[in-house]
Amino acid sequence: MEYLDYIRKAASFITARINEVPDTAIVLGSGLGSLADKMQDKIEITYPEIPHFPVSTVIGHAGKLIYGKLEGKLIICLAGRFHYYEGYSMKEIAFYVRVLKVLGIKKLILTNAAGGVNEGFAPGDLMLISDHIKFFDDSPLRGKNFDLFGPRFNDMSAVYSEELINLAKSVANEHEILVKEGVYAFMPGPSYETPAEIRMLRVLGADAVGMSTVPEVITAAHCGMEIIAISCITNMAAGILKQKLSHEEVFETAKATEEKFTKLIKGILLKI
């Protein structure tokens, strides 16, 4: 099938450029890309270079696959992701996850910028995602199932690794970083949610809301990967504070959390 051929071609291109495939990949969300600057022995591949790879169009997403070491651990880092609101299909959003699976990646660390729905949160908080809510009816698994990756009907009862969440909590305690834990709600965007939508999400148990991550988590779970996802709460969601929402605020708050975010990720990598 053409789609599988595209995945294999992309994976072959990356394999030819790197020395060995690591176990772990990290995806950096809006404003969190500076972690990639701290990697050593880097090989950088821009997304347009990779056959059939989507291209990031959002400010704060560098659009590079970076291979190298962080804290002495070999990783693949994706500085930038793809969103449904950019015009990509769910299969295109999920494409890179399946490429990582074909490469041999076993653990996936996902990060994002999110709005705080829980009124006990504040901009700058880090939240370990324990579960998610997805209303949007489209799915990266819709259509023909690819048995190469996983079963037709895959379990979603425990997709966020309890072991990795506990490991992240341990790292946070060691570095005196306050981390929250909660449920992430996926909304397709690009408009921010209305105050009524945020009230609805709060009633349903959401602690944060964003426009990414969940399609990738569904795909990675289907592929049998071990997953941890971390949200940087960059703003309070609509209606909580009497101010308008903007991407500039999201980007600036994410940058301000750089030090503790970097410590947390580095610590996780050391213990993983």
Please identify which of the residues 113, 185, 229, 238 carries the catalytic annotation. 113
Q: How distant, in Å, are the alpha carbons of 73, 104, 108, 200, 206 from that of 69?
A: 5, 17, 16, 43, 35
The identity of residue 190, as a single letter, is P
Type of residue found at 20: E
Residue 44 annotated as catalytic? no
Q: Which of 56, 61, 62, 220 is catalytic?
A: 61
Catalytic residue check, 161: no
Out of 211, 220, 221, 229, pick the active-site residue.
211
Tokens, residue 10: 């992309």
Give catalytic status of residue 173 as yes or no.
Answer: no
Q: Which of 67, 83, 127, 229 is catalytic?
A: 83
Task: Answer yes or no: 113 catalytic.
Answer: yes
Q: Residue 194 and residue 171: Cα distance in Å, rounded? A: 36
Q: State the catalytic residue, choosing from 85, 89, 145, 181.
A: 85
DSSP 82: -
Q: Which listed residue (30, 56, 112, 231) is catalytic?
A: 30
Beta bridge partner(s), residue 181: 128
Per annotation, catalytic residue among 25, 79, 84, 86: 86
Residue 211 is a catalytic residue? yes
Active site residue 247: yes
Give the tokens for residue 269. Answer: 């990598």
Distance (Å, whole) CA 88 – CA 47:
15
Over the Cα atoms of the chain, what is R_g?
17
CA 55 to chain centre: 16
Q: Cα(33)–Cα(97) distance, rounded to whole angstroms?
A: 18
Active site residue 212: yes
Element (H, E) at 222: helix 214-222
Per annotation, catalytic residue among 3, 247, 256, 258: 247
Residues 184 and 207: their CA atoms lie apart, in Å, by: 6
Catalytic, 235? Answer yes
Q: Which of 235, 236, 238, 254 is catalytic?
A: 235
Token pair belonging to 49:
């270079």
Please pick, among 212, 216, 225, 226, the residue that the annotation labels catalytic: 212
- The residues assigned a catalytic role are 30, 61, 83, 85-86, 113, 211-212, 235, 247
